Chain A
Amino acid sequence: MTRTGFPAKKLLRVLTVLPIITPPFVISLAIILLFGRSGAVTTSIEFVTGFSPGRWIYGLPGVWFAQMLSFTPIAFLIMIGVVRGVSPAMEEASQTLRADRWKTFTTVTLPLIRPGLANAFLIGFIEGMADFGNPLVLGGDFEVLSTSIFYAIVGAQNDQARAAVLALVLLCFTLSAFFVQRKWLGRKSYTTVTGKGDSGIHPHLPRRLKWLVYSTALPWAALTFVIYAMIMFGGFVKLWGYDHSFTLMHYIEAFGIEWGPQGIIWSGAAWNSFSTTIMIAAISAPLTAGVGLLTAYVLVRQRFGGKDAFEFGTMLSFAIPGTVIGVSYILAFNVPPIELTGTGAILVLCFIFRNMPVGVRAGIASMSQIDRSLDESSLTLGANSFTTLRKVVLPLLRPAIVAALTFSFVRAMTAISAVIFLVSARYDMATSYIIGRVENGDYGLAISYSSTLILVMLSVILLVQYTVGERKIGRRGLAMDQKRPAMEASPV
């Protein structure tokens, strides 16, 4: 898509960033509003044909559909990097060697982006295996590994052993995908942009391909648009499918405020989980960023063995499904000496360790660009180490700090798979609260809560962007941006 000279490219990019800050199950919610039993599409089909499609969307087709919509943006972000990474001079060279557009595409462009394609595919696979939100909402009787694990722990069975075994199976799958990816890409990855030299223009795609690209991208964009419209408006409708009159009922139910004799009463049902979420996210974001960047500083500035092992470790952590993490935290901290289950600390802890790798990668990326001589020269000018850090290193690190902060904040707000095992009545998170509501069929509240979350994150990101001027934002966007150099350039 970066190649088609398509006018609405910018809009398309915005549409792809939006899903990144969307809690994972929201897509399923919107799909229910569209295709569920009383969904908009379903009812209109029924009206026109007199035939009711029924509950086909619950189960495999729905999960598949939701997962596809949820993970296209990730694939898109990976591919953008890959496609941009192919130097236009390559394709121009091919053209001057008498290859037409089609030949150029098949013999040069495609082989060069193949590792990226595989990457996108495998990441999609790992994420799809590990994801939890969509199958939980849309699965119906159809269970996937991650939901089975959930029911094993949360359901009537409360069978931790079964959960552990299932978690292990899941882990095996994603890890094998991860290793396949590394092995395959280790041998075949090319970054062709050398930085020096020709600044040509990417030739346009061959015509047949162009139509293929348009005919997939445009409907996809339209669908995404409709889905977000659903999410935004769904919260203002009394009872979806039956009574479409405008109401603030759900918002009042969730975020109602009343004035009582003792001052403000936070009467909305969502306030508890909302404030917990914001608090946990606000606590864990700076901690995550701090720990991540310090680790990065140590890794870059102090040379020691095991650096590669650490790098590898951070990559690996992306391949471990949240569900597995959740289960392992329960197993580890449910028993003395450290009993943390049900506290806020376990949530913070979980977020820090889960999201730290991104901080580390962002830190490493920008710190390796800061020459050591820079802080040395500051030292020789009479500044002590602390001043050096504050005046010289920190400003240069600002993009990394912003990256780490936003990433961990957004992740803490939207994470579901690990968190759902760790919450308690006292420390409930927004996502798990919403899931609970969905299970009770309370879609209005779930949707209005979700759209509030999206808006909150969007404004936080915009605020950060506005104050710091950092452009790369987004849950996956950051992860991918940081991961990308390692995935493409070095034989990971």
Chain B
Amino acid sequence: MTLKGKAASVEFRGVTKAFGEVVAVNEVSFLIEAGELITFLGPSGCGKTTTLRMVAGLEMPTAGQIFIGETEVTNLPATDRDVSMVFQSYALFPHMTVAENVAYGLVVGGTDKKSARQTAEEGIRLVGLEGYGQRMPSELSGGQQQRVAVARALVLEPQVLLFDEPLSNLDAKLRRRMREEIRDLQQNLGLTVVYVTHDQSEALAVSDRIVVMKNAVIAQVGSPHDLYERPIDTFVADFIGDANLVGAEITRIENGEAVVRMDGIETRRPHQGLRPGPVHVAIRPEAILLSEKTGNGGLEGQVTKAVYLGSHLEYSVACSLGELFVIDHNFDKPVKRGAEVSITFADRGVNLVRQES
């Protein structure tokens, strides 16, 4: 037999969770499609874990409704939900072998011993741990423990599989590999996965879509590409990738484009639903182009810092917009510290964004 997911969708409708005075999650709504890997991304304390635990049934919402598939599960406890979770600390049972850990969910669920063992073996093989079944968790490395935790969750063929910062206890190299393995498993088995992290590069790497959270609410939902290319506000622009945030003003909307004045320079950008008035421009560091000073007007500045980083060069440039952070992949014409430069912007990577609320 082979393992597969019975992937189902997850929906939150106006879900709020308060711990006494603290509102951890505030009227959040979203829909996760079946078979999708969605990441909850945000700074520490923004309510990601709480959201995840509500999907698992480890916390009950204060208000709102939760659906898994077609079924409302709002007040269903964890035991009765078809959801498995991989804990940040892995939470392997230290008194059971790897095989017993993996088979645990099946055994307590009443599966007969023999087929539970077979399924467990299958799960262990799936995460690449054949031959480790009789070890105790304490005899495994961090990465191996992580795999056991994944296998233990997988063998139940859950409708939804949850990960809470699964890589935070691993070193950088292993982190990269594990996140790829998790993504491969998810795609091969067609699982619905909800994944929590505070690391934006991890989120960009594994997700179909990302939910960016901030202060108990959702800041923006979108594919990694959407979020990077069209951040909605200064918070998202700054949190996903780097961005230089510059104050500006939309003078008018013309042919579906906003005409923006940025300290005397005028550019045209997609208006993103914004109206004339003050606005921020988020400029990606690699969207800033430096060239030899021409002297015929335009934005000019002086390089105050130049750092060689092997794969690219980093500059700090002082200009009338403030101090700009620049990344340059062009090694042919390195600019020296103190040099006077002309500054232009690429078409991509310069976006109008709202002031974060």
- Say yes or no: A97 contacts B152, CB within 8 Å: yes
Q: Tell yes or no: B84 within 8 A of A by CB.
A: yes
Provided the pairs A99-B79, A192-B94 are in contact, do residues A198 and B88 lie with their beta carbons within 8 angstroms?
yes
Q: Is the CB of A97 within 8 A of B84?
A: yes
Which 7 pairs show the lowest CB-CB distances between chains A and B? A197-B89, A97-B105, A197-B88, A93-B91, A89-B91, A95-B78, A190-B94
Check if B99 is an interface residue, CB within 8 A of chain A: no
Which residues from chain B contact A94 at a C-beta distance below 8 Å?
Answer: 93, 104, 108
Nearest residue, chain A, Cβ from B80? A98
Nearest A residue to B59, CB-CB: A201
CB within 8 Å for A98 and B108 given contacts A89-B87, A197-B89: yes
List of A residues within 8 angstroms of B152 by Cβ: 97
Q: Tell yes or no: A458 within 8 A of B by CB.
A: no
A111 B108 Cβ-Cβ under 8 A: no
Residues of A within 8 A of B (CB): 87, 89-90, 92-101, 103, 107-108, 111-112, 188, 190, 192, 194, 196-198, 200-201
Whether A93 lies near B85 (C-beta < 8 A) is yes
Whole-angstrom CA separation of A267 from B251 in the bound complex: 99
Shortest CB–CB separation between residue A87 and chain B, in angstroms?
Answer: 7
- Given the known interface contacts A87-B89, A196-B169, the answer about A96 and B58 at a Cβ–Cβ threshold of 8 Å is yes
List residues of chain A with CB within 8 A of the CB of B153. Answer: 96-97
B89: nearest chain-A partner, CB-CB: A197
Residues of A within 8 A of B169 (CB): 196-197
Q: Which residue of A lies closest to B94 (CB)?
A: A190
* Docked complex Cα distance between A175 and B88 (Å): 42
Q: Are B56 and A96 in contact (CB under 8 A)?
A: yes
Q: Which of B78, B81, B92, B108 contacts A92 (CB 8 A)?
A: B78
Inter-chain pairs besides A96-B81, A103-B108, 13 sampled, C-beta below 8 Å? A87-B89, A92-B85, A93-B92, A95-B58, A95-B78, A96-B84, A97-B104, A97-B105, A112-B94, A196-B169, A197-B89, A197-B165, A198-B89
- Tell me which residues across on chain B come within 8 A of A97, comparing CB atoms: 84, 104-105, 108, 152-153, 156
Q: Is the CB of A92 within 8 A of B89?
A: no
Q: Which residues of A contact B322 (CB under 8 A)?
A: none
Cβ distance A205 to chain B, nearest Cβ, rounded Å: 14
User: How many angstroms between the C-alpha atoms of A201 and B19 in the bound complex?
Assistant: 13
Cα–Cα, bound, A194→B90 (Å): 10
Smallest beta-carbon distance A3→chain B, Å: 16
How many positions in chain B have a CB within 8 Å of any CB in the partner chain? 32
Chain B residues proximal to chain A, CB less than 8 Å: 53, 56-58, 77-81, 83-85, 87-89, 91-95, 104-105, 108-109, 152-153, 156, 162, 164-165, 168-169
With both beta carbons as reference points, the residue of chain B lying nearest to A95 in the complex is identified as: B78
Q: Which residue of A lies closest to B82 (CB)?
A: A98
26 contacts between A and B (CB under 8 A): A87-B89, A89-B89, A92-B87, A93-B92, A94-B93, A94-B104, A95-B77, A95-B79, A96-B162, A97-B105, A97-B108, A98-B79, A98-B80, A107-B108, A111-B95, A112-B93, A112-B94, A188-B95, A192-B94, A196-B88, A196-B168, A196-B169, A197-B88, A198-B89, A198-B91, A200-B58
Option from B85, B89, B92, B108 in Cβ contact (under 8 Å) with A99 = B108
Known contacts A97-B156, A98-B108, A198-B87; A108/B78 CB under 8 A:
no
The residues of A that contact B57 with a CB separation of less than 8 Å are 95-96
Closest to B105 in A: A97
The CA-CA distance from A112 to B137 in the complex, in Å, is 14
Query: Cα distance A199–B176 when bound, in Å?
Result: 25
Min Cβ gap A189→B in Å is 9
Q: B88, B108, B169 — which one has the most chain A CB atoms within 10 A of its CB?
A: B108
Q: How far is the CA of A173 from the CA of B85 in the complex (A)?
A: 48
When distances are taken between beta carbons in the complex, the residues of chain B under 8 Å from A103 are 108
| Complex interface: chain A residues within 8 A of B87 (CB) | 89, 92-93, 197-198
A97 to B85, CA, bound (A): 8
Would you give the shortest CB distance from A21 to chain B, in whole angstroms? Answer: 35
CB distance from A99 to the nearest CB of B (A): 4
Give every chain A residue within 8 A of B105 (Cβ-Cβ).
Answer: 97-99
Q: Nearest CB to that of A106 among chain B residues?
A: B108
Residue in chain B with minimal CB distance to A91: B91
Please, how many angstroms separate the alpha-carbon atoms of A165 and B88 in the complex?
Answer: 57
CB distance from A4 to the nearest CB of B (A): 18
CB distance from B306 to the nearest CB of A (A): 36
Which listed residue, B95, B156, B168, touches A98 by the CB 8 Å rule? Answer: B156
Cβ-defined contact, B77 with A90, below 8 A: no
Give the residues in chain A near B84, CB-CB below 8 Å. 96-97
Nearest Cβ in chain A — how far from B211, in angstroms?
20
Q: Which residues of chain B have C-beta atoms less than 8 A from A100's C-beta? A: 79
Instruction: Give the Cβ gap from A104 to chain B, nearest Cβ, in Å.
Output: 8
Cβ of B175 to closest chain A Cβ, rounded Å: 15
Complex Cα gap A93–B79 (Å) = 10
A95 to B59 CA separation, bound complex (whole angstroms): 12
Question: In the bound complex, what is the Cα–Cα distance between A377 and B318 (angstroms)?
Answer: 41
Q: How far is the CA of A464 from the CA of B6 in the complex (A)?
A: 61
A215, chain B: closest CB distance, angstroms: 25
Q: Which residue of chain B has its CB nearest to the CB of A189?
A: B94
- CA distance in complex: A162, B133 (Å): 57
Distance (Å) between the CB of B84 and the closest chain A CB? Answer: 6
Chain B residues within an 8 Å CB radius of A101: 79
A92/B58 in contact, CB under 8 A: yes
Closest chain B CB from A490 CB (angstroms):
13
In the bound complex, residues from chain B placing their C-beta under 8 Å from that of A111 are 95
Interface centre among A87, A90, A196, A198 (most CB of B within 10 A): A198
List, in ascending order, chain B residues with CB within 8 A of A190's CB: 94-95
Q: Report A113 CB to chain B, min CB distance, Å.
A: 11
Best-buried of B94, B105, B153, B164 by chain A (most CB within 10 Å): B94
The residues of B that contact A112 with a CB separation of less than 8 Å are 93-95
Q: Which residue of A lies closest to B109 (CB)?
A: A98
Say how far B76's CB is from chain A's closest CB, in angstroms.
Answer: 12
Q: How far is the CA of A196 from the CA of B169 in the complex (A)?
A: 8
Contacts of B92 in A (CB 8 A): 93
CA separation between A89 and B152, bound complex, in Å?
A: 14
Closest to A112 in B: B95
What residue in chain A is nearest B138 (Cβ atoms)?
A190
- Which of B85, B94, B165 sits near A96, CB closer than 8 Å? B85
In the bound complex, how far is the Cα of B104 from the Cα of A111, in angstroms? 14
Query: Could you say which residues of chain A place their CB within 8 Å of the CB of B94?
Result: 112, 190, 192
Whole-angstrom distance between the alpha carbons of A143 and B79 in the complex? 54
CB-CB < 8 A to B81: which residues of A?
Answer: 96
Q: Which residues of B contact A201 (CB under 8 A)?
A: 58
From A96, A98, A108, A196, B89 is in contact (CB under 8 Å) with: A196
Complex CA gap A97/B58 in Å reads 12
| A106 shortest CB reach to chain B, Å | 10
Nearest-CB residue, chain A, relative to B107: A107
Nearest Cβ in chain B — how far from A16, in angstroms?
28
Report the bound CA distance from A93 to B102 in whole Å: 12
Q: How far is the CA of A434 from the CA of B77 in the complex (A)?
A: 58
B79 touches A90 (CB 8 A): no
Complex-state Cα separation, A201 to B59, whole angstroms: 9
Most central of B57, B87, B152 by chain A CB within 10 Å: B87
Name the CB-closest residue of A to B165. Answer: A197
